[in-house]
Structure 1
């Protein structure tokens, strides 16, 4: 039998070893005075778009102290935008609340269009380069592909239940969607035909397409978080972690195709080796003020350069972090 004092010491040591130490960012910017509802970071880290209750939608350029644009989704009143996506070419932004979605021009700082959904609520949104195509995930299991310039619409009917997450290739030709039916699909926006099917043991909560067309990422509500070959549909690696459950809120592939960066609702930011699924780095963002216990959701992650990553979280802060390992 272990002495009681030794047992307590070993238990405390084990807990300390399993916990993530408080991280210290290189730099911090206040992007929302109150809690943020949603955020996205452009693939090159140059821009962030942040939605908050009383300040609407603010567009920030990296390193600037004031937003370059301030947008209002529904006119006067409280802002309820809960989904934001920046196109891979930094030219357009898609935003949505549960009942409507909008497209904005980053060059002009003005809205391109505003559309309302009557049949079912909006769950997620994504926009292609040049604003040529929008994906709208819906609670009725349908995904709408919409071309604002031409008015063309296509409904993808592959899912049997609520769709939780969507992403679109930069050229707008390929869509990725995942839902409560335990399945993610890569499909053509030209024909609506399924290209690859990715199955999970529980509901799919997040999907992401590599902008270079090499990989896709799908994660479920339990323990399967998989990187796949976008061309063949074959598995590349499964993210390696011990936890029985790990939820992700955002994911982006590095430009060199070696790393995957993910955010989580537990203040955590993780970096992974794409080929092995092994964790490379981990950071812990600042919690929301006056929250007990301390908490924050990481909404957006992005690479600034080879040595730095940027995060946006529900705390209303943008935080810059140094990468320690390669």
Structure 2
């Protein structure tokens, strides 16, 4: 199950390009709509991630590479690229839970960046396969990424120590890593999600599904895991025992999740979907509390948008989303759990 490899990595200094900021603010009487809308990518986003506290958005687009936005100041902070090639598309990215670092990835390379000064902290080329998903730990110490050859790699950026997790038999669709980098949750087309120790590669729990696992997420305090498949099973698991905590309650025959986030005390779960839907759930029993719809990009046909990420704000009274429409949106929670 485990292969240890030492690798060398090289640094690459990146120029920081400051762009102008364009913002749109709007309100509407429909409580299912956002109470604040800010444009982050004028022609739509390719990928996006929100920081755990919602203070930062990292948005990838064809025109601008990866752009870090300060959501408190409502301004652009940094712009990052892997190269100047027009086809250099950053399709996977993540922000550390402590807002220290970010990671951006295209098919064959990934780069680590400082949120304090915008500098590049390392530039890496993978040895085989292509990158399918990526995560970064606090302080930018560890990076976890899934490859197209069914391998998950955990890399210690300080020592170069690498563990390859070989538990999956088919494509890996989603990964998550604990903030300290010591635990990983990975799900794939082999109908399984694995919760494993990144220091040893040993599996702690296996969560089985009746169809391919499309999305996984971890509670940042290590209490719960979320796994969802491509049909109708979305589950919340107790990480201490591996027992089922709750299943999300919905009647759809097929439901795909593209974004998942637990709130700070793990009493609530927010999810986003490829059909513009944002939903809030109660962790204790999986009941849905409230639903919203993100905006499609103006002029898009069909009028659709993928919710890339979601974050809780204002003591859980508000939710932020980033979507493929290139918009940051804020939603007010009007129903209490």
**After TM superposition, is the score higher than 0.5?**
yes
Offset from partner CA, 1:185-211 (integer Å, 9 cap, x none): 000111000000000011111110100
Q: Which residue does 2:119 correspond to in 1?
A: 110
Aligned-partner Cα distance in 1 for 2:240–2:82: 37
Aligned-partner Cα distance in 1 for 2:307–2:33: 16
Q: How does 1:308-319 map to 2 (within 5 A)?
A: 308-319=318-329
Aligned equivalent of 2:243, options 221, 225, 234: 234
Aligned equivalent of 1:320, options 303, 319, 330: 330
Q: RMSD in angstroms over aligned alpha carbons?
A: 1.2
- Per the TM alignment, residue 292 of structure 1 is displaced from its structure 2 partner at its CA by 2.2
Query: Does residue 1:205 correspond to 2:214, yes or no?
Result: yes
Q: Which residue does 1:307 correspond to in 2?
A: 317
Aligned equivalent of 1:167, options 154, 176, 179: 176
- Per the TM alignment, residue 79 of structure 1 is displaced from its structure 2 partner at its CA by 4.2
Q: Which residue does 1:82 correspond to in 2?
A: 91
Which secondary structure state, in structure 2, belongs to the residue aligned with residue 113 of structure 1?
strand
Which secondary structure state, in structure 2, belongs to the residue aligned with residue 130 of structure 1?
helix
Aligned-partner Cα distance in 1 for 2:261–2:53: 10
Q: Which residue does 1:216 correspond to in 2?
A: 225
Unpaired runs of 5+ residues, structure 2, are 1-29
- Per the TM alignment, residue 78 of structure 1 is displaced from its structure 2 partner at its CA by 4.3
Aligned-partner Cα distance in 2 for 1:181–1:60: 37
Aligned-partner Cα distance in 1 for 2:214–2:57: 22
Query: Does residue 1:249 correspond to 2:249, yes or no?
Result: no
Which secondary structure state, in structure 2, belongs to the residue aligned with residue 67 of structure 1?
strand
Offset from partner CA, 1:215-252 (integer Å, 9 cap, x none): 00001111110000011110000001000011001111
Report if aligned partners of 1:139, 1:162 keep a CA contact under 8 Å in 2.
yes
Report if aligned partners of 1:22, 1:284 keep a CA contact under 8 Å in 2.
no
Which secondary structure state, in structure 2, belongs to the residue aligned with residue 288 of structure 1?
coil
Aligned-partner Cα distance in 2 for 1:134–1:194: 19
Aligned-partner Cα distance in 2 for 1:106–1:250: 22
Greater per-residue helix proportion: 1
Report the TM-score, using the length of structure 1 for normalisation: 0.91
Which secondary structure state, in structure 1, belongs to the residue aligned with residue 76 of structure 2?
coil
Q: How does 1:24-35 map to 2 (within 5 A)?
A: 24-35=33-44
Highest Rg: 1 or 2? 1
Report the TM-score, using the length of structure 2 for normalisation: 0.88
- Per the TM alignment, residue 102 of structure 1 is displaced from its structure 2 partner at its CA by 1.3
Which secondary structure state, in structure 2, belongs to the residue aligned with residue 28 of structure 1?
strand
